[in-house]
Amino acid sequence: MNHYADKSTVKPLTVNDLAAMKLRGEKITCLTAYDASFSALIDKVGVDMMLVGDSLGMVVQGHDTTLPVTINDMVYHARCVSNARRRAFVIVDLPFMSYTTPVVAAKNAARLMQSGGAQMVKLEGARIEVVSFLVDQGIPVCGHLGLLPQLINQLGSYKVQGKEPADAARIIADAHQLQQAGAGLLVLECVPAELARLISDQLSIPVIGIGAGLDCDGQVLVLYDMLNIGIAKRPRFSKNFMQDAATVEDAIHAYHQAVKQSHFPGTEHGF
């Protein structure tokens, strides 16, 4: 059957479905997606969520950082992904400087939802006032703590966060505040596995890890890294799923199964 033929009969997952998965201990799978063809393939395999990440600035546009990505870029790629999506939950990043105030954030998030088809928007850092305002306007929000790529010019390099006790304590406190402000999901990037485990246990919302160990409620990877087609060196926390796969679909399937069965990430992918 044509992949698109039965679009009307398949319901997209909701934030409640994801919360229920956490409650019953089912791991949540997520990959980044930036276009319709990969979106259709990821969706067909049964991956639970697609993140239209501003990582597209690096892997699609060829920039050194995510900073040049604009809200127009995000709307365009979100639309491409949403057009081919049937079941997977679609989250779209608010790019650098697109959430400087609650009102600016709401206007940009509305574009991602109305024109881009986003079901939820993601923003970096403990921007509690912004998150609370968006949630009040009916905009579902995913927080993002740990390594924040939009702060690369302050951080100096893409390094593990939360190794020092004071930093770990701040990340834990921020995670609780984001949940209290109404965030429906949290992404934890590049933090020690033990810290991610603690946060995943303490929060009631699903925690999705990238470079954050096995004990998060779900995992996300940048698609081009796990297919080994990125132009930059693959990060240590990622894995080349093409290595033992005959096709791209097989590689995505292997990732999906490895996460569902808690076989990925291994200790060698963590900190």
Which CB, 37 or 247, lies closer to ligand KIV? 37
Provide the minimum distance between the beta carbon of 147 and ligand KIV in the complex, in angstroms, as a whole number: 9
Residue of this chain nearest to ligand KIV (CB atom): 53
Please report, as ranges, the residues that interact with ligand KIV according to CB under 6 A: 32, 51, 53-55, 93, 187, 189, 210, 220, 222
Q: Residue type at 148?
A: L
Identify the sign of the CA torsion 109, 114, 117, 119: positive
Which CB, 9 or 153, lies closer to ligand KIV? 153
Beta strand pairing status for 218-221 and 207-210? parallel
3-state secondary structure of 128: helix
Residues 6+ apart with CB under 8 A from 150: 54, 66, 67, 95, 96, 124, 125
Provide the minimum distance between the beta carbon of 125 and ligand KIV in the complex, in angstroms, as a whole number: 12
* DSSP conformational letter for 104: H
What whole-number distance in Å separates Cα of residue 93 and Cα of residue 245?
30
Which CB, 9 or 148, lies closer to ligand KIV? 148
Provide the minimum distance between the beta carbon of 100 and ligand KIV in the complex, in angstroms, as a whole number: 19
Provide the minimum distance between the beta carbon of 167 and ligand KIV in the complex, in angstroms, as a whole number: 19
Which CB, 84 or 208, lies closer to ligand KIV? 208
Which CB, 99 or 103, lies closer to ligand KIV? 99
H-only helix segments in the chain = 15-23, 36-45, 56-59, 71-84, 102-114, 128-136, 152-155, 165-181, 193-202, 223-226, 248-260
> Which of the residues are catalytic?
189
The H helix count followed by the E strand count for the chain is 11, 8
Provide the minimum distance between the beta carbon of 148 and ligand KIV in the complex, in angstroms, as a whole number: 9
Q: Are 12 and 119 in contact (CB under 8 A)?
A: yes
